[in-house]
Amino acid sequence: MKRTDIKRRPLSDTVLANLDPEEKEYRELDGEGLYFRVKPDGKKAWLFRYKKADGKWSWLGIGTYPELSGKGARKKASEIVKDISHGDNPIITKQERNRQELEQNNATFEILAREWLDTKVNTWVNDTMTRNKGALEKHIFPVFGKRLYTTIKPIEWMNHLQGIQQKLGIYEQVNRVRAMCRDIYDYAKVTGRIDYNPLEGIQKYLQQGKKENMAHVSEQELPPLLRAINNYPTLDVRIGLQLLAMLFCRPSELRGAKWDEFDFDNAIWNIPEERMKKRREHVVPLPTQAIAILNELRSFETDSDFLFPSRSDKSKPKSDTVFIMALRRMGYEGRQTPHGFRHIASTLLNNRGFDERHIESALAHVKDGVAGVYNKAQYLQDRTNMMQWYANYLEEIADQSIIQFKKFQ
């Protein structure tokens, strides 16, 4: 519809919806200072024209169309006319009105963040969700949680994040928290609630800590570590550490393992997709040594679905610190982490000439899409042979020397 075809004002809904764009932007009067703007790309919005205190005319954006209807725009325009008649600055009153509207809708940063976390339920495994939610609750919500997210300025974010880095010395962790908060604002932006992200560019002004590498011993130090594990006095923790070393799975995958995931007849551990970092089912071939210690663990009835149930609640797995604390008791604090067994296996297997594709598949570092599914099936027999070789190798380099455990001070 051409604007020359407009017959009456205020503009009807039909006119608003069908006005054609032109080579240049144009505005059509709706009435009482309210204008309807049409851009060359077809985007439409509402503007209000008013006279400032210095006598000069100015424009005030009211909202975009069709998000803001003609009826809604006229209501806002009448509020602006009323503000001006009372001597108020229409820009300030508009901002205050928006703030009150957001407040009434509980538009705080914490509510926005928790809404964003809900979008990650099918993307993150439970441990990742717990860790990231805990970081927000510890470092962000106490300061910004109750604030309206539209009112928090970039300088406030930068000062707060820099303050955490300086006070606690946790540089890489703060950068991860910063990335989450940036994503939270991106979520608000794509859902039409904000126009800009206050955390954009802040990473340039935060200290960048060294990328954390999961501590692990060298190949020469591995035999004493294996001996320490084989002689650990707590049976289920000892078996858990042995499996971590032998299967080099992620610690969260083992802690949350349930008995019904294991096919003992075919020597296979099927980890369901909801427990995997990449949200894809992962198959782990079990060497004979793993079958033996799993049967040893199974002989001790725990009345739990979990291989490693919590002592206080059999319906939950052990704490994520259980293996960390065990390695600490053996004197390996800062030298070996549960996740570090993956680094050891990757290095050893690559150095022994095993196919990198088989190693990456065993580590669940598979390609996305059809190729990843195909490779999982293609490499299963190769991975079975590789896993058995690795279990045999670990068994060969370990002996039964008794070690003394360190006591906590």
Catalytic residue among 187, 365, 367, 393: 365
Which sign, positive or negative, has the C-alpha torsion 364, 365, 369, 370?
negative
Give a yes or no: residue 17 inside a domain.
Answer: yes
d(CA 262, CA 37): 65
**Preceding omega of 251 cis (within 30 degrees of 0):** no
Tens of pLDDT along the chain (409 residues) come to: 998 899 999 999 999 999 999 999 999 999 989 999 999 999 999 999 988 777 888 888 888 999 899 999 999 898 888 877 776 666 666 666 666 565 555 688 999 999 999 999 888 877 788 889 999 999 999 999 988 898 899 999 999 999 988 887 777 888 889 999 999 999 999 988 888 899 998 988 887 765 445 788 898 999 999 999 999 999 999 999 999 999 999 898 999 899 999 999 999 999 888 887 666 788 999 999 999 999 999 888 678 999 999 888 888 888 878 999 999 999 998 899 999 999 999 999 999 999 998 988 888 876 554 444 444 455 889 999 999 999 999 999 987 544 445 444 3
What pLDDT digit, counting tens, does each position of 222-262 carry? Answer: 999 999 999 999 999 999 999 999 999 989 899 989 999 99
Q: Are residues 301 and 365 in the same domain?
A: yes
User: 11 and 82 share a domain?
Assistant: yes
> Is-catalytic flag, 339?
yes
| Pair (183, 256) in one structural domain | no
- How far, CA to CA in Å, does 249 sit from each of 214, 334, 342? 14, 20, 7
Q: Assess contact for 186 and 223: CB atoms under 8 A.
A: no
Q: Is 146 a catalytic residue?
A: no
* Separation between Cα atoms, residue 63 and residue 287, nearest integer Å: 65
DSSP β-bridge partners for residue 44: 38, 65
Let me know: does 44 contact 64? Beta carbons within 8 Å: yes
* Number of independent structural domains in the chain: 3
| Active-site hit among 160, 238, 275, 342 | 342
- 8 A C-beta contact, residue 219 and residue 347: yes
For 403, phi then psi, to 5°, come to -115, 160
Q: Which of 43, 82, 146, 374 is catalytic?
A: 374
Final residue of a domain: which of 205, 240, 260?
205
The alpha helices in 19-124, defined as continuous H runs, are 70-85, 90-104, 109-118
Residues forming beta bridges with residue 284, ordered by sequence position: 269
**Same domain assignment for residues 295 and 386:** yes
Domain annotation covers residue 93: no
**Do 318 and 343 lie in a common domain?**
yes
Q: Is the dihedral of CA 169, 173, 175, 180 positive or negative?
A: negative
CATH of the domain at 25: 3.30.160.390
- Within this chain, do residues 51 and 167 fall inside the same structural domain, yes or no? no
Token reading at 346: 């990757």
Same domain, 242 and 363: yes
pLDDT digits (tens, 9 = 90+) for 353-393: 999 989 888 888 765 544 444 444 558 899 999 999 999 99
Q: Is 217 contained in some domain?
A: no
Residue 122 lies in a domain: yes
Catalytic residue among 139, 250, 275, 329: 250
Measured from the Cβ of residue 218, the count of other Cβ atoms closer than 10 Å reads 10
What is the pLDDT, as a whole number, of residue 272?
87
86 is catalytic: no
Within a domain: 212 = no
Q: Give me the catalytic one of 131, 277, 280, 357.
A: 277
Active site residue 182: no
The set of residues, in sequence order, having a beta carbon less than 8 Å from that of 132 and lying 6+ positions away, is: 117, 120, 124, 180
Q: Is 255 a catalytic residue?
A: no
| Residue 113, in any domain of the structure | yes
Which one from 94, 160, 216, 339 is the annotated catalytic residue?
A: 339
Distance CA 352, CA 355 (A): 9
Q: Are residues 348 and 278 in the same domain?
A: yes
In a domain, 104, yes or no: no
Cβ neighbour number for residue 43 with a 10 Å cutoff: 12
Q: Give the residue numbers spanning the domain of 245.
A: 222-397
The encoded tokens of residue 262 equal 């294991």
Other C-beta atoms closer than 10 Å to the C-beta of 199 total 20
Q: 3-class DSSP state for residue 334?
A: coil
Residue 37's SS3 state is strand
290 and 156, same structural domain? no
Give the residue from 138, 171, 205 where a domain finishes.
205
